[in-house]
Amino acid sequence: MNTLRTFQQSNDPFTLASLPSDIIRNIIRLDEESLDELRLIGRSWNAQVLELYSTDSLSVVSFHYDQQYRSHVYMYAQMPARNKGRIGLNQWLTISLWSDEVFEVESELFYLGVPRVVYSEMILPSSWTQWIIIVCGFLIFGIRFGLVVIPKIVHYLYKRSAINNTVDGFVNHFKRFFSLFSSIDTLQLSNFVSDNVFNNVLKTIENKRIGRLEMQVDKWDRTLQYDLFVTTNAPNSVDSDLI
């Protein structure tokens, strides 16, 4: 006996974002090389990528602070070979070692931002702040001196704004990368001498669970010592003692 089935035509347009979750998961597994692009299709795709891969752990993550260029940090990461489709591969991440079980990558310079300077309190992105600086320049330095200094400050503001956009781009790369992992087995920090660099890295890895924290420094300031104490003693932060 034949059964006639009729399907009601839907007015909603068919899109990739509207696919059922099980189909999305199967497509993701077939195209792990394009995780970054697949996450951008829609919220459901991004959620499925995170659900499939965020349980993985990074074996080793190493950050090296470049003291010559004090706004830069190098990153090295070791992960399971099945994660070869992680975002940024051959773009801002470079393969350094490949085997059947281990996949190692290293980054280009991780740009932390311009070091703090005397004018740091004045370097703000909002346009009304620039006018306040201009008025204060006239009042404090006088009209003649202000005419010389103010154009340089305005130029510095625009230059700093462009640098901030570059910094945000680099930081977003790293945040998306770490968002795909649940924890870090070993976090290694080299040449970290100030709390500013330390806190920037912690924000970038989004406070992932750390199994072991290793630091190699010649000297550090007291603020960094305090931040390390708070971090290593906070609940759900670092499992083992500081090495």
pLDDT digits (tens, 9 = 90+) for 87-122: 566 556 666 555 555 556 666 544 444 333 333 333
Q: Kindly state whether residue 145 falls inside one of the protein's structural domains.
A: no
Q: Kindly state whether residue 90 falls inside one of the protein's structural domains.
A: yes
What was the pLDDT predicted at 15?
72
Name which of 238, 204, 186 is nearest 59 in CA terms: 186
d(CA 32, CA 85): 5
- By residue range, what is the domain housing residue 105? 16-115+182-233
Both tokens of residue 46?
Answer: 């991004």
Query: What DSSP string runs through 85-114?
Result: T-TTBTTTEEEEEE-SSEEEEEES-EE--P
Low-confidence ranges of the chain (pLDDT < 50): 1-8, 109-126, 146, 161-167, 233, 235-236, 240-243
- Count of domains in the chain? 1
Q: What is the pTM of this model?
A: 0.52
d(CA 198, CA 223): 10
d(CA 216, CA 214): 7
Q: Kindly state whether residue 122 falls inside one of the protein's structural domains.
A: no
Q: Kindly state whether residue 1 falls inside one of the protein's structural domains.
A: no
What was the pLDDT predicted at 113?
40
Q: Kindly state whether residue 203 falls inside one of the protein's structural domains.
A: yes
Both tokens of residue 214?
Answer: 């290793």
Residue type, 224: L
Q: Kindly state whether residue 127 falls inside one of the protein's structural domains.
A: no
Q: Kindly state whether residue 138 falls inside one of the protein's structural domains.
A: no
What was the pLDDT predicted at 195?
66
Q: Kindly state whether residue 82 falls inside one of the protein's structural domains.
A: yes
Alpha-carbon distance values, 22 to 17, 29, 34, 52, 80 (Å): 13, 11, 18, 11, 24
What angle, rounded to 10 degrees, do the helices at 195-204 and 127-179 form? 60
Give the side-chain half-sphere CA count within 13 A for 87: 21
What was the pLDDT predicted at 48?
75
What was the pLDDT predicted at 22?
77
d(CA 78, CA 103): 6
For residue 225, how far is the Cα from the chain centroid? Answer: 24
